[in-house]
Structures are given as C-alpha cells and as structure tokens.
Amino acid sequence: MQLDQATTEQLRDWETSLTQEYQQFKASGLNLDLTRGKPSAEQLSLSDSINEILNSDLSNESNTDLRNYGGLDGIPECKRLFAGVLGVKPEETLIGGNSSLTLMYMAVQFGLYQGFGDLAKSWNSEGRTVKFLAPVPGYDRHFSVCEHLGIELVPVALKDDGPDMDAVEQLLKSDPTIKGIWCVPRFSNPTGTVYSDQVVDRIAQLGKIASDNFRVFWDNAYAVHSLSNDAPELANLMDSCRKYGTEDSVYLFGSTSKITYAGAGVAFAGMSKANLKAFTHHLGMSQIGPDKINQLRHVRLLKDADGITEHMRQHAAVLKPRFDIVLKHLREGLGGTGMASWNEPQGGYFVSFDTLPGLAKEVVKLAAEAGVKLTPAGATFPYGKDPANSNIRIAPSVPSLEEIDRAMAVFVTCVKLASVKQRLS
C-alpha cells in the first residue's frame, strides 16, 4: 500500500500489525550486524595462497634484496600492476604500505603544512580556514581526516553521475580557501555511484579554475570491485588531465584492502611525475622503505590485469548473493510504498538507503532495539549531520546469507513502522 494514500483507519491497522511483528522480532533475541564495510572471512580466504606463494624465492625484476631498506616508491613490477588499476603510468605510481587512508592522510598533511613541497604555498600559510568539498553522502573517514586536521568540510550533492559539478565549479570560483575535493569515482561509498565520462572530464579541468595548490583526492578504492560483468566503466582521469595540462592537480589512490587482505594488502597512489618526486621525498621523512616482500607476494598472486579481473570475479561470486538478498527485501517490502528509496549498486560494498525525511535515526534505533546493528545515521555526512536525517548505509559483506535475510526482514519492518507512525503523528 502507498503510504500517502492510506486512510487514518488503514494507517492505525497497519501500525498495530507492524508493532506486533516488531515485538516478535524483539523477543527473538537477534544479534545481527550490518555495519561493517570489510571483506568476510570467505573473501579473505580467496587470497590465502599468498602466504606460501614466495616459497623463499625473492627474485625480482631489479634484483634488489627485498629484505632490506629502500625502494621507497615501490618495486617496478608492483608499480606496473597497480598503475593499470589507477589508469596512470608506472612512472607515475607509488606503492605504499597496507593502507591507502594513510597515504591520503599524508597527502592532505603535505598540502596543509608543506604546500606539496613548496612551503610558500602551504595551505595554512594563507592564514585562513582551509576547506574541502565533500560530495554527500560520502565516506566518513575522508571527513574525519579533514576534521582531525582542522579542515572545514563543505558538502556538495552527489548526483547519479557524480558530484554536482555546477555547484563544485561555482564554489571553487568564488572561494579560494577550498583546497581539495574528495572523490570516490567508481562504486562510491556508500551510494555505488560511478562518475560519468562528462563528470570525470570536468573534474580534470578543476585545476584550471582553482589555485595551483588545489588537489582532487581521487580515492578509487573500489576501482575493480564490480558485482557483474556489465558494470559501468570509469573514464581515465589522468588522460583527461593530460588533455588540459592539469596533471599536477590530482592525487589518485587505491589499495588491495578489498582485493587480498584488508589488514595486509598494499596501497598505491598515482600522480604526476613532479608530484611523485615531492611526495616521495615527504614520505622519506617518515620511513626508509615499505614492505617490498608484500609487494612481491601481491605481484605473484595477482600477476596482471587479467589476474585481478579473475580474482575479483571470485569476490563478486561471494558478494553478489548478499546484495541480492538486501535488494529483494527492499523491493518486496518497500517497493511502491513511498516510504523509502535506495540505490541498486553494480559494485562496491554498500547499499545506500534513504528513509522519508527525519526518520533515519529512529529506524537505526528501532533496529538496534530489535538486535540489528546499523551504521549510525548521519555517518555518511560531515560532522555526522545528515540535514535530512534520512540516509542509512547498509553493509552486507560480512554477515552470512541467512543473517542478512533475517536482518533485512527486521530492517524493513522498522522502516515501515517508523513511516506509518510519522504519518499518523
């Protein structure tokens, strides 16, 4: 039934039956968790051969002793492998430790305090609050990097084809204190959005509008994480930048956290040769060299672009049925009710769900009281504040199929109950 067409009497009946259903869930002592955007044990096991793969053979392309210090920007074969994921040249690639978030944090710090190698251009030397554009809903840890470093976040809407570029361009033209923008261009967290070719092309031109110490933080965390073979591709940002001469305005990031091991993968970054030289120097102040043995293990496991595609197909086989259950519950339980909207992602790790305005916190609370843990409402917005109080991030990778099935039944009931109660109030 459509919520806004129900009579008061129908709504009251609905409320009674939903309350009964909800109380039954509550009494059944559930303990389910849809919060964790991390790979399941089954997914991690897909890479377990990485532990034996070297078999004491540390021979590598440049014949260096990988057990020793050095190789700050990574071993050549690993650069080649992940340059392809980011769509840059191997000589524009840096391989880091196990976390791309660390590289992103360091890059933001580098701009803030060191002006990307030109102290006179450090953001904080301008003596004004530094700002970043934050497409919303977005990834909470991007926001916390900025919050931690005292950078103000300016939300811009994330549309179906990427950030609202009219707003982005307008803001950049009118406010020189905006020094960066966060982008998750393929299967973004949490909406699953893939930026269109036109949006990628406009982002490549931001370096012409903004000051020369502005950077696009292009976090391609889900670059190869399709759930189906026909998922949309992403245009190549660096190629567009070459067209406009804006290569220095972008930093690209990625990692194998959701390809091999989230806790023991490799992170990588792509940037112009000038940026790479400066950033590597900066990195060298905090370490003498990364774990090159892990880099070699990753090359032996994944081999090449085809190897990555095949490996990701195995991940999709584990993940896709989980997403299917979530979507089945949403379609069957809430489709046509006018109570909610959600995305149907073709990759990534999340389903982004919107309640009617003002209900996300209530739904999360109701679900928690019935034993289903959801990501706190607001987490997908800077400072934890969703102005519409409607977005909820659903992360189905870790629970079993049966657990997702039960958790989603509870979730749908909570959404319906909260919506009917709101309509009656």
Residue ranges that bind ligand PLP, judged by CB under 6 A? 37, 99-101, 139, 184, 189, 219, 221, 255, 257, 262, 267
The distance of closest approach from Cβ of residue 35 to ligand PLP in the complex, given in angstroms and rounded to an integer, is 12
| Closest distance of CB 139 from ligand PLP, Å | 4
Q: How far is the CB of 389 from ligand PLP (least distance, A)?
A: 23
Residue with tokens 């990555």: 308
Query: Least CB distance from residue 141 to ligand PLP, whole Å?
Result: 6
| CB atoms closer than 10 angstroms to residue 314 | 13
Of residues 25 and 253, the one with the C-beta less far from ligand PLP:
253
Nearer to ligand PLP (CB atom), residue 349 or residue 411: 349
Question: Which residues does residue 153 pair with via DSSP β-bridges, in sequence order?
Answer: 132
Closest to ligand PLP by CB, 267 vs 418, is: 267
Q: Identify which of residues 116 and 139 has a Cβ nearer to ligand PLP in the complex.
A: 139
β-strands 215-219, 250-255 pairing? parallel
- Nearest Cα to 2, choosing from 285, 360, 406, 338? 338
- Minimum distance from CB of 169 to ligand PLP (Å)? 23
Which phi and psi angles does 17 have, rounded to 5°? Answer: -70, -35
Q: What is the phi/psi pair of residue 82, to 5°?
A: -90, -15
CB of 354 to ligand PLP, least distance (A): 19
CA 208 to chain centre: 26
Cβ contacts of 295 within 8 Å, gap of 6 or more: 66, 74, 75, 78, 95, 266
Min separation Cβ 364 and ligand PLP, Å: 19
For residues 77 and 219, which CB has a smaller minimum distance to ligand PLP in the complex? 219
Structure tokens, 274: 């000038």
Cα-flanking dihedrals φ and ψ of residue 381, to 5°?
A: -125, 150
User: 122 CB contacts (<8 Å, ≥6 apart)?
Assistant: 111, 112, 113, 114, 115, 213
Residue nearer to ligand PLP on the CB measure, 111 or 137: 137
In the complex with ligand PLP, the residue whose CB is nearer, 256 or 355, is 256
Long-range residue pairs from 151-159, CB within 8 A, at least 24 positions apart, any chain: 151/108, 151/112, 151/179, 151/180, 153/382, 153/383, 154/178, 155/381, 155/382, 158/188, 158/191, 158/193, 159/193
Q: 298 or 416, CB closer to ligand PLP?
A: 298
Residue 122, SS3 per DSSP: coil
Using the minimum distance from each CB to ligand PLP, give the nearer residue, 100 or 272.
100
The tokens describing 16, both together, are: 């009674």
402 Cβ partners below 8 Å, 6+ apart?
Answer: none
What's the first-to-final CA gap in the chain, in angstroms? Answer: 19
Query: Which of residues 85 and 410 has its CB atom nearest to ligand PLP in the complex?
Result: 85
The beta-strand segments (E) located in 303-365 are 340-342, 351-355
Shortest distance, CB of residue 267 to ligand PLP, whole angstroms?
5
**Residue closest to 136 by CA, chosen among 111, 112, 168, 172:** 168
Selection from 255, 111, 279 nearest residue 179 by Cα: 111
Minimum distance from residue 108 beta carbon to ligand PLP (Å)? 13
CB of 404 to ligand PLP, least distance (A): 19
